[in-house]
Amino acid sequence: MKFLCDVHISYKVVNYLSNAGFEAIHVNQILDSWNTKDKDICQYSDKNDLIVITKDYDFRNSFFVNRSPKKLIKVNLGNISTSDLIESISLILNALEKLNTASSFLVEIDKNQITYTTEKDKEL
């Protein structure tokens, strides 16, 4: 799996994913760095089959309205520690490996639940 972490996701998450054997980059390493527009991040991630990890609600809207980014993890946990975010991501890695075969999916990480949505059957 390949991940693209949005601007408000720590480089420590990128390092965690890389050390776990996945390809992971931060938005600051591509295109116009932190100035990259959401639309361009979506296009880049779709072109390169990357799973976007973000806290930005605009990506969720774009997933449903524009069908891009095709693969999205939306973090709805507020200002949590990076270690807690990494723990939350680690809990979904097995499910992500199965989902990654789908052409499109959204995973929402909330405090008390994780929701998986695919293009095909909306709610898993």
pLDDT digits (tens, 9 = 90+) for 5-46: 999 999 999 999 999 999 999 999 988 888 889 999 999 999
Summarize pLDDT for 52-102 with one digit per residue, the tens. 999 999 999 999 999 999 999 999 988 889 999 999 999 999 999 999 988
Let me know if residue 123 belongs to a domain: no
What strands lie across the sheet with 71-75, from one edge to the other? 23-26, 2-5, 51-54, 71-75, 105-109, 114-118
Let me know if residue 124 belongs to a domain: no
Model pTM score: 0.91
DSSP 121: T
On whether the CB atoms of residues 59 and 93 are closer than 8 A, the answer is no
| CATH code of the domain containing 60 | 3.40.50
Let me know if residue 102 belongs to a domain: yes
Summarize pLDDT for 106-121 with one digit per residue, the tens. 999 998 899 999 866 4
DSSP strand pairing (71-75 vs 105-109): parallel
pLDDT of residue 79: 85
Report how far residue 11's alpha carbon sits from residue 25's, in angstroms, rounded to the nearest whole number. Answer: 8
